[in-house]
Amino acid sequence: MVKDRNYSLDLLRVVACYLVIQQHTSEFYYIGEQGSVVAGSNTFWIGIITSLCRSSVPLFVMLSGFLLLPMQGGISDFFRKRFTRIVYPFVAWCILYAGYFVLTRGESVGDMFVHILHIPVNFGCEVGHLWYIYMLIGLYLVTPIISPWLERASKRELEGYLGLWVLTTFLPYIHTVYPEVLGEAFWNDTPLLYYFTGFIGYFILGYYLKRYGYPSVALSWILLIAGYIVTATVFCSRIDTVATIPELELSWRFCSVNVMMMSLGLFSLIGRIKLNGSRRGTQLLADISIKSYGMYLAHIMLLNLYYGLFSPLFEAAYITIPIISVCTFITVYLLVKVLSWLPKSKYLIG
């Protein structure tokens, strides 16, 4: 047992990891060719069972802010520790996915090398879930800049920043009425609240919760339930009225107000749970948490395998999605566990 380990944060990371896998499993059932919407009952049920999954990435970012802000030690030490854990496994899995596509998509060896050379450009070898790594690196780069302010900022000053950030979470809906607001134009993509937008809000929110504590249990439940109702209702109501996935996913955007509410509520409810570190289940939980980054990187390969196995057996997405997600989650953990026994495994799984 590790002394002073916060096992509730391990639980949060494990929950977020599972939610990511279920989100990606669902994509088989509602995303059609050329990003079109697959209408029907399966897509409706995805709105019901998967809307909560949109809190996954915000939970990860809030955890990073909770644990890393303000930066401790020197800049070089901070970047060395973070980038050793994040960048090397990211590059390794980009290369592995490039080889995987040769085997599964029939791509050529030349295509594989093009994918590898494309790593510095975007998404490594076009594996969509790797977008998260670029965003995370961006947050690490800004950490030394915001840390001195965070150390000096009062509660009211932090709430002032977060209040402006919350205003920006309404922008996805405002843009449906006014496509350009607060200085937005084709020649200006940095409008009035630009510097308060995006995942940095979740990053600082995680730090705020560490410093000042969680909302009350009652308020946390209200935020979670209300956020979920809005997220699921808007998604389901648009299935037959929009043609493309970006339009359908209006309420699923990570930095929308309803997803923010869900994420804050869920983080607060799980984060206050007290777990006994001496119990075997808690130790397993901690081990899954430690290996969650490797699981995130690797899970798409196994998810594709299980989709091929189970999708012909059931038509209903509300049956297949949980089965595929649970099987992927368990198997990818076991895979990363085995990989962790290899020499220098930190360069592969973080």
pLDDT in tens, 300-319: 999 999 999 999 999 999 99
Backbone angles phi, psi at 232, to 5 degrees: -70, -40
Model confidence band, residue 4 (pLDDT cutoffs 50, 70, 90): confident
Q: What does the DSSP 8-state code read for residue 145?
A: H
Q: What does the DSSP 8-state code read for residue 119?
A: T
Containing 335, the helix (H) or strand (E) segment is helix 317-339
Q: Of 104-118, 228-242, 285-299, which gets the smallest average pLDDT?
A: 104-118
When the pLDDT of each residue in the chain is averaged and rounded to a whole number, the result is 94
CA distances in angstroms from 245 to 43, 248, 260, listed in the order given: 11, 5, 20
Within a domain: 100: yes
Asked whether residue 86 carries a pLDDT value surpassing 50, the answer given is yes
Region for 106 from its dihedrals, namely left if φ exceeds 0, alpha if ψ lies in -120 to 50, beta otherwise: left
Within a domain: 271: yes
Give CA–CA dist 252/51, Å, rounded. 7
Give CA–CA dist 231/324, Å, rounded. 23
Query: Domain count of the chain?
Result: 1
The whole-model pTM stands at 0.95
Q: What is the domain range of residue 238?
A: 7-349
Measure the N-to-C terminal CA separation of the chain; round to a whole number of Å.
21
Within a domain: 1: no
CA angle 226, 232, 237 (to 5 degrees): 125
pLDDT in tens, 96-117: 998 898 888 888 888 888 888 8
Q: What is the DSSP string of 191-259?
A: -TTGGG-STHHHHHHHHHHHHH-PPPHHHHHHHHHHHHHHHHHHHHHTTTT--BHHHHGGGG-TTSHHH
The answer to whether the CB of 289 falls within 8 A of the CB of 13 is yes
Within a domain: 2: no
